[in-house]
Structure formats: structure tokens, C-alpha cells
Amino acid sequence: GENVEQHPSTLSVQEGDSAVIKCTYSDSASNYFPWYKQELGKRPQLIIDIRSNVGEKKDQRIAVTLNKTAKHFSLHITETQPEDSAVYFCAAPRGFKTIFGAGTRLFVKA
């Protein structure tokens, strides 16, 4: 199909540990892969994105990796903190619109 598959649906880690969330997409023409963070009761906000001409991008404790051959991309959060607790959504374009993964609920335990 043309969905964006996201795993896991829930992730619980200890503060200071790393968290990894994975997504796969089906449209080989997709060239832009954003990640959004949604805190409870708030709007989703972009935290990092990657374009298909690079394999990895980092921004402080957050990194995204892309494997175009396998059509999957991952979000990596290192040294997790309680304020990282939120729902994370990956996304990929399908034609001219953006389709989101089902979301991963991340709990960071202090």
C-alpha cells in the first residue's frame, strides 16, 4: 500500500538511555522525511527532517537516518530527558500531500 508504517507504537526508556523509532514508506519517489513531536494537548511541531540526498542528519541529541534502498528512516534520541516524553510522528510525501505514521508514544522515566 501507500502507507507510512511506524514502530513501535509505545516506547518506554530510562532517563539517559537512547530511544529509536523506525518508519518505512512505500513511494520510492519520496524525497523528504520530517519528524514531528506532539506534546499532550498541543499541536505537532517539526523537530528534524532529512532529504533524500543525505543519509544522516544530527541536531544536538536528535538524529535521523535514511536508507533509501530499504525505504526506511529512523529517529534517534540520545541521553533522553523527561521532557522528551511525547508522541512522535514520522511523515513522508505521497504525491503532493503528506501522510503521517501512526505515532510512537515515548515515555522517559526519571
User: Which residues contribute to the site for other proteins (CB under 8 A)?
Assistant: 30-32, 34, 42-46, 49, 51, 89, 91, 93, 95-103
CA nearest neighbour of 74 among 93, 96, 48: 48
Alpha-carbon gap, residue 65 to 97, rounded angstroms: 22
**Whole-number minimum distance, CB 16 to other proteins, in Å?**
27
For other proteins, give the closer residue by CB, 62 or 102. 102
Distances (CA, A) of 1 to 7, 20, 36, 73: 17, 24, 23, 17
Toward other proteins, which CB reaches closer, 62 or 99? 99
Q: In the complex with other proteins, which residue's Cβ is closer, 32 or 79? A: 32
